[in-house]
Structure 1
């Protein structure tokens, strides 16, 4: 088997262009009339573009399938070695940009098979033995989701770590706490930040559950009925790094779209918390609040008003959930289907990939954005007014023996019992409050999520 080179791959690309066209479909019978170009383009849709995000996973799944075929003697060891070399070359060429997955192909699956057939001749035609494009797309999507959700998880953890670090430095930075957007009680920046840190931990914990569900191989279920071959499904699952198999072939087919939807729901919880945080930032950065300033690295100017400094990044963070919510709705509307594969499910790729990419891009911005924040301590403290200590005053009367409800009413009238904002913060000793943040508990929980 010759070594891969840019010249060889460039030459092969040119040969593909000359010898292969998208209308040369894998399933066409010899001598059959070709599909009309408009029909073929409509059927292929955006698959060849979308499959650029899935191509390396499709190659990985094909290698595992070939390992299984070699194990049961359908292909020889030498043929298996040739297949693996060719697929490694294809993966390298694709990653280096010397092999283009483009409009010449119906999709990524056909590109792999045509490449193998051109590279290995008659041997290449054995690659699809015991396999359907149904389980091929299921497999590459499963590997994609598992891998990309791991990326999302790490991005979430990165954001949590910065939130905790920032909170540690602002344990004594006071700010008003709000309910109904009205000043309520004294609070600290640390409590506010850790609220989002712990919420994101919930989201990461949910990601772990989803990734456990995804950790199952549909490879070997073919078109949804199994195949008359003793495929070593557990071994091929292990070869792809998956711990178990989806046993029933109908169940495997019915998971198409459903698992994508589960992933997108998990992403939406992350972006829901990001949206709430972005909303708070949007308010606290206004002149009316003037609590937070963001560095020029994360703000923009106005095209007409030289006085403006706009939080465009924060606003787009706030809007990112709409992309994932739209993706959820798009897939939900597809899933009013009977069991088994239906071509409608082809349209589930685009919203999954779009939602995944938007989530990753959003979470990736958070650490540096957090570090670009400056908290205006004086303005925040000055916004804490005397009436915000009324609850503390009522509880002080409770300690003196009065019932809370009577103390609640008396505190509205009491001008003598004065509690300062500092005293209010110092007395917030319940776990999670400003005087007892529970940082160690949060760190231990985070370590358990990694």
Structure 2
């Protein structure tokens, strides 16, 4: 059976294909962060207090120049990861060795692919989480804008899907916005947990040379290094699972919003109208405009949750130390993030183009919707609540002439239809955007200093 020579030995071709899996394809998303991680590692090696120097200052500059060149190639889709490389790490090493000779062979000193992929995934997650926060804030802003525009439009509030009490479009829209803003808190928590540098842990047990893990962490713009070198690699999978958990909460909010939109755009309700360009037609029924985006979003919420559970299941019985099972977590991790981000990006313009049908929303009110409000008004006039409850239950006919708009005007306490604090929503959205701006600025500044060129590369 045919064999192939690789950087780490001669391997049977089928074994090579089986063990590389989809890394050759998926790792294209990690080329830039792998180069950034390597730049930090080589810089740290050049400052290590040993004689002779492992990496001289001139050699460090030459390596980083090579890494910047690879990043540029990756941006132009010109950098190739070959099956013999197995992954991005060895592809970068092979390329640098071809360009720099023996110097390229030095870059893996005091490092394992275990800590290398761990830092790559954390750097990848940093940017993906910031992008997700930006996109979640944009959707929250769209929902708040929709709610504010329709704040005086009455809407039947439902429990058990049955008419319950007077509500408003503003209350409905901002309920979903606030849910999404809470999801942003979860994303930020995941970001902070992810913001630890595992580089320098090597194969999980440290190395017998005086490496400076704090320096490496600082060079990469991390908040701090992971402390225990064994946990630095045991954190693989766990960290992906935590990030996916935050993503699945976003998808939970989007799924419930999608379900509402599917219900309330049915002809029997006709409360809202989705923009036609976000609906699809039927191959046989010319009149159809289907809410396929909402249906798929509901399904994709399950896919993201399945990715989270898939990673969890991969690691729950994994013994301490690196195990190759973790390779299978990468695809689930990337897919879960990509699905969440795509869902946020498509929902935002869909909400921006959605129209509220005030006439149909008001027509949805029947006298019984006002029962609870009227009972509470009687309580305000001195009647015990349970007596008021039974009186209204027996005299629903008295509620026939109540105006829905007048009914919501009475609900002025905090968070009620006429007590919504628009500045509260504006402030929370602005805070998310500011967090993204500051974190991205700090990271770009650190990487620009490390590479000696402005990052991101143009």
How high is the TM-score relative to the length of structure 2? Answer: 0.90
Q: Does 1:268 align with 2:248?
A: yes
Alpha-carbon separation, structure 1, partners of 2:19 and 2:432: 42
Counterpart in 2 of 1:27?
A: 8
Q: Could you list the per-position Cα deviations for residues 55-110 of structure 1 after superposition, in whole angstroms to 9, with x for gaps in the alignment? A: 11111101110010111132001100100000100110121122223435311011
Q: Residue 433 in 1 paired to residue 416 in 2?
A: yes
1:369 aligned residue: 350
Q: CA deviation at 1:23?
A: 3.2
- Cα offset, 1:51, TM superposition: 0.4
Q: CA deviation at 1:189?
A: 0.6
Partner of 2:209: 229
SS of residue matched to 2:382: coil
Task: Look up the match of 1:390.
Answer: 371
Which residue in the other structure is 1:421 paired with? 404
More divergent stretch after superposition (49-58 vs 270-279): 49-58
Q: Is the 8 A contact 1:22 1:103 kept in 2?
A: no
Between 397-406 and 324-333, the greater mean CA deviation after superposition: 324-333
Match of 1:121 in 2: 101
Within-5 A mapping of 1:157-176: 157-176=137-156
Q: How does 1:57-72 map to 2 (within 5 A)?
A: 57-72=33-48
Which residue of structure 1 aligns with residue 57 of structure 2? 77
- What is the root-mean-square deviation in Å for CA atoms of aligned residues? 1.5
Quote the Cα distance in structure 1 between the aligned partners of 2:120 and 2:153.
Answer: 49
Q: Distance in 2 between matches of 1:192 and 1:22?
A: 62
Query: Separation in 2 of the partners of 1:56 and 1:102?
Result: 17
Aligned mate of 1:327, from 303, 307, 312:
307
Aligned to 1:38: 14
> Over residues 373-430 of structure 1, what are the superposed CA-to-partner deviations in whole Å (9 max), with x where a residue is unaligned?
1111101100111111011110111011111111111111234466432222011122
Counting only pairs closer than 5 Å after superposition, residues 101-250 of structure 1 correspond to structure 2 as 101-250=81-230
- State how far apart, in whole Å, the 1-side matches of 2:237 and 2:275 are: 42
Query: Which of 372, 397, 405 is 2:386 aligned to?
Result: 405
Q: Which has the higher contact order (CA 8 A, sep 6+)?
A: 2
- Residue 331 of structure 2: aligned partner: 350
Question: Which sections of structure 1, spanning at least 5 residues, go unmatched?
Answer: 1-20, 29-33
Aligned partners of 1:320 and 1:368: how far apart in 2? 18
Find the residue that maps to 2:370 and give its secondary structure. helix
Of residues 428, 432, 435 in structure 2, which corresponds to 1:449? 432
Report deviation, 1:37. Answer: 0.8
1:297–1:372: 8 Å Cα contact kept in structure 2? no
1:81/1:162 CA distance change after superposition, 3 Å? same
Displacement of 1:447 after TM fit?
2.9
1:287 and 2:267 are equivalent in the alignment: yes
Structure 2 gaps of 5+ residues are: 434-458
TM superposition outliers: structure 1 runs of 4+ over 3 Å:
415-419
